[in-house]
Structure 1
Amino acid sequence: MESFDPCCSCPQGKILGFLDYSYVLPIEMHGKQWNFEVAVDQAAQGLGVGKKLLQHLLVNAQAEKIVKISLRVLGTNPNAIGFYEHFGFQQEGHYKKEFFLNGRWVDDYQYALYYLYLNE
């Protein structure tokens, strides 16, 4: 499976955010789809780090003519869910009681963004 180098924001050597993305599966029936994960240090949230990382992803996706970009996000993270929805991601899946964290079951959601490239 082909993977891409992670991108991070590192002023003064401190990692504020992390982005990693890769093809879903290297088979033709999946077309050009990427999965990604992003994390931003709690102290840096709300400072534009996540926005910059996601914009990096979207620019590269458009350059590579990626059709679908997906991610999963914990239901306990409404700020992240709102962030992705702001960028046009839509919920595609709901995994009930997917993880047991801090003594309770937590739902997980799959979100995706589609690009349509016509005449190809």
Structure 2
Amino acid sequence: MKMFANLMVGLVALLHVGFMVLEMFFWDHDVGAKVFGLSREVLHSSATLAANQGLYNGILAAGLAWALATGKRDVKLFLLGCVVVAGIFGAFTAKLSILFTQALPAVVALVLVLLSTPKAQAA
């Protein structure tokens, strides 16, 4: 079970690396236009905001990678919770699909982390 939990945490981290790359480097390009379905004008005018958002996704990915490397359950749970909240917020304020691409994988990882390590062992 712990292996599956760690694989899901790793997947969430990789997804956020992908989000970071899209938002920081491909936002105002053909790739960004296709992925996000926004006009070039909107993409161009919001590129700085997207890069900032991408940086935060990179920070989440780095934190999750650190939590995996150190085995810190509490850090995994905290960061996965942050991803879930961000995904729910994004789904309500931007696109419903964010609920499935960001929040759902984090919920699955969070549940697996909770189930894989009894609370007594977590300390």
Higher relative contact order (CA 8 A, sep 6+): 2
Higher share of residues assigned strand: 1
- TM-score (normalised: structure 1): 0.30
